Amino acid sequence: MAFQFRVVESAAVYPARCRCGSVKAPLVDTLINDALGRLYVCSRCVAQMAALLGWTSPEDMSVREVAFQQLGATVARLGRELAEAKAAQLTVVDVEELLRRAREGEGVAA
């Protein structure tokens, strides 16, 4: 069974800080009391713990989201370029057809 933690803006119970010494809000109040007092965990320590477990930090998620958006833009650009290339290819076919018709016209005239 997991502990029920809560987020607090200030630590009210001794030692009123994370075990790393930080009092920076928000803090997780574990509601656990041991020989050193109430166990609070600051967001930096939570981030370190989460990273050890392979979880992604909000900063990493932001970087990944930007990269994902850039990849999406690249895919969209490549799609447009492919469509333009296909259109250009059709234009070449059209030009060849026009040239063929023009040659036929010259042949008829000659």
Nearer to Zn ion, 22 or 30 (CB): 22
Nearer to Zn ion, 20 or 99 (CB): 20
Q: How far apart are CA 28 and CA 18, in angstroms?
A: 9
Residue type for 51, please? A
Beta bridge partners of 7: 28
Using the contact rule CB under 5 A, the part of the chain among 28-36, 41-49, 70-78, 87-95 near Zn ion is: 41-49
Given 13, 20, 75, 78, the residue binding Zn ion (CB under 5 A): 20
Ramachandran quadrant class, 55 (left: phi over 0; alpha: psi -120 to 50; beta: rest): beta
Shortest spacing between CB 87 and Zn ion, in angstroms: 59
18 near Zn ion, judged by CB under 5 A: yes
Given 27, 28, 39, 42, the residue binding Zn ion (CB under 5 A): 42
CB 5 within 8 A of CB 29: yes
Q: Judged by CB under 5 A, how many residues of this single chain contact Zn ion?
A: 5
Radius of gyration of the chain (CA): 33
Shortest spacing between CB 32 and Zn ion, in angstroms: 15
Q: Phi and psi dihedrals of 89, rounded to 5?
A: -65, -40
The footprint of Zn ion (CB under 5 A) covers: 18, 20, 22, 42, 45
